[in-house]
Amino acid sequence: MYRARLGIRPGTWLSIAALLVAAFMALPAMADESSQGGWGLLNLPVGVTSISRDVYSIHMMAFWVCVIIGILVFGVMIWSIVFHTRSRGAVADVTLVHNTKVEIVWTTIPVLILIGMAIPAAHGLVLISDDSHAQLDVKVTGFQWGWQYQYVGKGVSFVSKLDPQSMAASELDSGISPYSVPHYLRNVDHPLVVPVGTKVRLLLTAVDVIHSWWVPDLGIKKDAIPGYINTSWFEVDATKPGVYRGQCAELCGRGHGYMPIVVKALSKADFKAWLQREAAAEKATPGAASS
């Protein structure tokens, strides 16, 4: 009985659209103080390990499959919305209520697409799950709020917490601009140091509540759970020494947002020297944390 009335004039449409476009364009630019933000930060990192590259390619495959299906399905819908309308004088074809052939097709094709996606995903998963033949074991213990790293059999062990500068700036109404702190909330006092080109296995556990160890560039995330020892592994490309940052991914209380993870990947020789220095320092002062 109630026909659709054109509630909003085209002029209003244009203004809304213009405002929206302006908002999207201007805002990221406005707050832009680090070159990494806004439009430069839309997707997963490719990362620096074989795992992260596998994950990235699975992610992109899934993304493009979704985009293509989306274009097809939304295309048909938009076609109907534009052309099969009463305002264009379309008369409903009320006999179009069932079509077994079409229904079989649109059940079977998705199954085939899913199989096509499941194969690379399962293959990637099998590779990621293989943590055998590790060349270095590090035990990672989450606690409220920080991480303890123990180099198994190397006599090196230390605690890694949020750096003091971030800590000070992160207080409620601290008056310190987060932009003035290098790597705000993503910096620690003692980073995890690992060699490149080496299969490093992590043995993850926690002492109080559940935490989760995540560094996007390494492509792994694994929960650290009291009473469990979970394993995960990564091997930083030999050509990609550097500093890689992440943070705890499982809600673990007030300090959840304040337990970053920093991984410093050194060349094999530099790592060896670092490890010897650390082991010697720990022998001199047993139990003391040092970098």
Determine if 243 is a binding residue for another protein (CB under 8 A).
no
- Given a contact cutoff of 8 angstroms between Cβ atoms, the answer to whether 71 and 77 are in contact is no
Helix axes 50-83, 100-129, angle to 10 degrees: 160
Judged by CB under 8 A, the number of residues near another protein is 114
For another protein, the closer of residues 172 and 269 by Cβ is 172
Shortest distance (Å) from residue 287 CB to another protein: 24
Pick 107 or 239: Cβ nearer another protein: 107
Site string for another protein, 69-98 (x = CB under 8 A): xx--xx-xx--xx--xxxx--xxxxx-xxx
Question: CB of residue 26 vs another protein: minimum separation in angstroms?
Answer: 10
Nearer to another protein, 13 or 273 (CB): 13
Cα gap 223→253, rounded to integer Å: 15
DSSP codes joined into one string, 134-180 = -SEEEEEEEETTEEEEEETTTTEEEEE-B-HHHHHHTSTT----GGG
Q: Site map for another protein, 130-169, x if CB under 8 A?
A: ---------------------------------------x
Which among 244, 259, 243, 278 is positioned nearest to 206, based on CA atoms?
A: 259
Q: Does 42 bind another protein (CB under 8 A)?
A: yes
Q: CA angle, 53 as apex, 50 and 57 as ends, to 5°?
A: 140
Per CB under 8 A, the segment of 39-47, 188-196, 235-243, 272-280 that binds another protein is 39-47
